[in-house]
């Protein structure tokens, strides 16, 4: 039986990428199509020699022209197909997250075969973001099915909220916006992570309202905090500092430039009865001043900055930024102090981040003793076929 989809042909470069199982075909890799298609629809992808390479969502408005959804020529892209994908994603999280299944990422885009779709679970609220036009056309049915799957597990979801207020949607030919896809609520939900309570503002908070990917990294750092003076930089909603305070740190100072973030962090500290000092200041300026004053106020420093680069074009500037904050933090620590540092940018590869840290240590005239090298939590799985899913690099060092 002939497949009903338009045939799109790709260059040899595009073919190599697909045969290496990367799921994206870029616009410059498409050489032609044998008919008219609708953006957001499904096309078949072929090599120059007529070999079928897969089927995927097509979008002429996107730099990524085709996002592969299947390499099985027998697949039918009906409701049962998408239900299987959702069930695989949920079953995986139940297996790897265990007791932490109540707050985790349920769907992680390409890593789950659901391109461009992110769904985070915060207790009985699901917060979604869609960055693929093909998924945009299916999302309402997917949300309903996901709620049904959770109900089968004895979990009643009260609301699905969309955070489609990201500029990237415009590059995909979609409008920005946010709102309830299902149910309703006041925009706040109380969660517990690592035994600490947080008020998650899923309407106005960053991304989906809370960064779940650092869950176990926070715990790893907190284990070093007992009796130590902790400087938590780029604290956002306060999570690293609160974990350290809960593990009996002598003192915790959490810093952020955002007044709104600090107010949220203070509320979270109050929820848990934890004593944390909150400071509103630019981290670069703070570390510079403290380094110039040769202060040694802290023996555990945490650097959890936002992504300094979201493209290869700004990578050099990002390298300088990462080097600067890490070098100054290393200078501020006494001999034997501890540094936890990370990068959440895919473009800052692990190799490049390690080189940047090594250079910072040389300029700070210190040595680094690696305690742990970590990544994002397992609910944000790294698909080895898709390097873009491997984005979070997290290191804990003793500075000697």
Q: Which residues are catalytic?
A: 344
Query: How many C-beta atoms lie closer than 10 Å to residue 36's C-beta?
Result: 7
- Max alpha carbon distance in the chain (Å)? 76
Alpha carbon distances (Å) from 240 to 223, 370, 400: 11, 19, 23
Burial label, 379 (beta-carbon count in 10 A; 0-12, 13-18, 19+): buried
Alpha carbon distances (Å) from 355 to 82, 196, 390: 42, 35, 18
Query: How many C-beta atoms lie closer than 10 Å to residue 194's C-beta?
Result: 15
3-state helix vs strand vs coil in the chain, percent to 5? 35, 30, 35
């Amino acid at each position: 039986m002939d497949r009903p989809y338009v045939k799109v042909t790709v260059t040899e470069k595009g073919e190599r990428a697909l045969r290496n199982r990367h799921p994206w075909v870029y616009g410059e890799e498409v050489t032609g199509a044998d008919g008219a298609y609708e953006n957001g629809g499904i096309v078949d992808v072929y090599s120059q020699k007529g070999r079928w390479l897969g089927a995927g969502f097509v979008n002429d408005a996107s730099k990524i022209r085709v996002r592969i959804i299947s390499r099985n020529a027998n697949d039918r892209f009906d409701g049962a197909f998408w239900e299987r994908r959702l069930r695989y994603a949920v079953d995986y999280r139940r297996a790897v997250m265990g007791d932490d299944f109540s707050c985790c990422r349920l769907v992680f885009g390409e890593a789950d075969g659901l391109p461009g779709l992110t769904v985070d679970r915060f207790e009985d609220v699901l917060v979604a973001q869609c960055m693929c036009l093909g998924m945009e056309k299916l999302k309402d049915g997917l949300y309903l099915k996901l709620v049904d799957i959770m109900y089968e597990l004895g979990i009643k979801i009260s609301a699905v909220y969309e955070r489609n207020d990201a500029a990237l949607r415009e590059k995909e030919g979609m409008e920005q916006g946010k709102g309830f896809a299902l149910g309703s609520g006041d925009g706040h939900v109380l969660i517990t992570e690592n035994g600490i309570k947080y008020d998650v503002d899923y309407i106005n908070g960053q991304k989906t309202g809370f960064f779940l990917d650092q869950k176990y990294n926070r715990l790893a750092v907190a284990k070093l905090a007992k009796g130590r003076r902790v400087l938590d930089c780029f604290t956002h909603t306060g999570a690293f500092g609160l974990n350290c305070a809960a593990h009996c740190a002598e003192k915790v100072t959490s810093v952020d430039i955002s007044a709104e973030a600090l107010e949220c962090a203070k509320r979270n500290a109050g929820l848990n009865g934890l004593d944390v000092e909150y400071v509103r200041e630019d981290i670069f300026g703070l570390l510079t001043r403290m380094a110039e004053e040769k202060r040694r106020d802290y023996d555990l420093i945490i650097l959890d900055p936002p992504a300094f680069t979201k493209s290869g074009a700004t990578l050099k500037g990002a390298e300088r930024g990462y080097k600067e904050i890490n070098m100054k933090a290393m200078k501020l620590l006494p001999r034997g102090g501890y540094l936890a540092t990370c990068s959440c940018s895919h473009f800052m590869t692990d190799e490049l981040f390690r080189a940047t840290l090594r250079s910072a240590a040389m300029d700070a005239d210190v040595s680094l003793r690696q305690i742990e090298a970590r990544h994002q939590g397992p609910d944000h799985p790294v698909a080895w076929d898709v390097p873009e899913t491997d984005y979070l690099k997290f290191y804990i060092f003793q500075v000697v």
